Structure 1
Amino acid sequence: MPTITLEDIADTLRTARLQGAPIAAPTQTWPSLDADAAFEVQKLNVSHAVENGDRLVGYKLGNIAKVMQDAFGLDQPDYGHLLASTFAYEGTTLQRSAFIEPFVELEPAFVLRGRLGGRNTTIADVINAIDYALPAIEIIDSRVKDWAIGLPDTLADNGSTGAIILGGTPRRVTDLDLRDTRGALRFNDKEVISGTTGNILGNPFAAVAWLVNRLADYDVEFEPGQVILPGSCLQAVPMNEAGRWSGTFEGWGTIEFDVAP
């Protein structure tokens, strides 16, 4: 029997993304896949994308809120790379057919002016490194059938990233109360769910500090100009129908986009 390599797993996930066809969880097919090996799979596919003209523009943290962990059966956060090809423009139409089983999340996004990296990074370090914040929508999408994922599965799948939309109301973080800012998602002008930024590990700066410290184990550092997503402030909502979505942070800004079949 031929030996299965991490490159084989990366290729299987890349093919599933390109074809829009879900696969069984990698840990079902390869039970020995752990979180460290899964992150190596993630890096292989990021390198493949960059070698073929894409660009690394940041990092994301997922499932940091308890409601998200409960919804997807995880007991700890996941994390991934952000590629330029996954960013969409606000106000444009996304094709539902371009995704497998997508969900919509609302979260803040941070753009860095300074470098962040290394163990023992503090919340103060995070705040000092941020240039400004933007409201953001992340569409998560898994290449694993029925979202039957454990941590290694979503890590191998780049944190189940689908698409990211950044809003157009940048603010200095000192002008925002990110300890307790209400956010809500609306679909076809009807509110479907709300939450607060306090759900993001108490505040989203703490979530970024957690991510920096976690990725220090892999010698990953964040560069000036990169976008950092700290995670959703509310439970993700299925994106199953055509229509208009909007996400709003009170006192800050709104993001809108349309979905076609």
Structure 2
Amino acid sequence: METNNASKIVSHAKHLASSWRNGEGVQPLTTLDSELSIDEAYFVQLHTIQEYIVNGQKITGKKIGLTSKAMQNLLGVGEPDYGHLTDAMEVKNGGEISFKRVLQPKVEGELAFILKEDLVGPNVTSLDVLQATDVIVPALEIVDSRVKDWKITLADTVADNASSGLYVLGGTPKKITEIDIKQIGMALYKNNELQNTGVGAAALGDPVKCVAWLANKLAKYDITLKAGEVILSGALSAAVEAKPGDHFKAKFAEFGEVSVSFTE
């Protein structure tokens, strides 16, 4: 990061963090700083994560966003983005989420990779990902935005930790050799009503490629994917808005399910 940008990075991170004090979304960074670059946005994210660590949180993994062509086209980009996960973001399978912990949440069904080896970019291949993966588990990601009404550009969501909120891991781990990850079917239910369906291939054609992309992207910022980390590999269908009282469940064909509820 250039020294003369440091104060701007800190100011932008504080702006996003103020959403929690006020209990509502804030103005998009890109309306305050029309020249905000994607690199600068990642440094805003990294500053926020460093603050989390200083306050006692531990990094548990990463999430990959914008893995569908539809979302990439919507934001006018040609690659995914990523955010960090911490231990404060994990919710137990079947658990409850108080609306005091979220601002404007939406729920996605995903596949989570649990690593048994480090993945160090920039030359990580799909084969490397397969070899470094311990198990795959069903997951729900609760995406959330500190930006009011989700009025985001790519730079806005990157700065906002890729709109990360919370995540839930299912309890049915499978070795990656036991499943055809591209063909796993997923059905997402809200209050027992089917909302949408998807398959593994919805994430850039192959979730394994998403993880390889992430490892290589992170090399630019001298970040390594560590053994034991959770990697949320991208939504398999559209995100569904959550309100207090809603119950969500994602069923994965021959792979179990994962669920969570929202309370006041």
TM-score (norm 1): 0.94
Shift in Å, 1:98 = 2.9
Aligned pairs for 1:97-246 (under 5 A) are 97-246=100-249
d(CA) in 1 for partners of 2:27, 2:47: 20
- The aligned residue for residue 32 of structure 2 is 29
Following TM superposition, by how much is the alpha carbon of 1:51 offset from its aligned partner in structure 2, in angstroms? 0.7
State the aligned residue count: 258
Task: Measure the CA separation in 2 of the matches of 1:251 and 1:68.
Answer: 28
Report the alpha carbon displacement of residue 240 of structure 1 after superposing the two structures with TM. 2.8
Asked if 2 retains the 8 angstrom alpha-carbon contact of 1:68 and 1:235, the reply is no
1:96 positional shift: 3.0
SS of residue in 1 equivalent to 2:236: coil
**Any conservation in 1 of the 2:75–2:154 contact (CA below 8 Å)?**
no
Deviation at 1:242, TM superposition (A): 1.6
Q: Structure 2: which amino acid aligns with 1:225? A: G
Aligned to 1:86: 89
Aligned to 2:3: none
Residues 194, 234 of structure 1: 8 Å contact kept: yes
1:250 to 243, 248, 253: 253
RMSD: 1.5
Deviates more, 1:227-236 or 1:10-19: 10-19
Task: Give, in angstroms, the shift of residue 74 of structure 1.
Answer: 4.8
* Letter aligned with residue 20 of structure 2: R
Deviation at 1:17, TM superposition (A): 3.4
Structure 1 moving runs of 4+ over 3 Å: 67-70
Whole-Å separation in 2 of the counterparts to 1:124 and 1:29: 43
Is 2:18–2:26's contact at 8 Å kept on the other side of the alignment?
no
Matched residue, 2:80? 77
Deviations 1:73-99 (A, max 9, x none): 453422111111111111121123432
Go from structure 1 to structure 2 and tell me whether the alpha carbon gap of 1:11 and 1:124 turns closer, same or farther (over 3 Å shift). Answer: same
Deviation at 1:20, TM superposition (A): 2.6
User: Structure 2: how far apart are the matches of 1:37 and 1:48?
Assistant: 17
CA distance in 2, matches of 1:18, 1:162: 16
Structure-1 residue corresponding to 2:69 = 66
Measure, in 2, the Cα distance between the counterparts of 1:260 and 1:54: 24
| Correspondence for 2:53 | 50
**1:54 alignment partner AA:** Q
Whole-angstrom distance in 1 between the partners of 2:76 and 2:147: 14
Instruction: Provide Cα deviations, 1:9-48, integer angstroms capped at 9, x if missing partner.
Output: 1111122135432111101101121110111111111111
* Structure 1 residues 185-217: Cα deviation after superposition (integer angstroms, max 9, x where no partner): 111111111011111111100111111111111
Partner SS for 2:183: coil
| Contact preservation (8 Å) 1:67, 1:234 | no
Taking only the aligned residue pairs, the percentage that are identical comes to 35
Aligned mates of 2:246, 2:47 — CA distance in 1:
35
Structure 2: unaligned runs, 5 residues or longer: 1-5
Counterpart AA for 2:85: L
Structure 1, unaligned stretches of length 5 or more? none
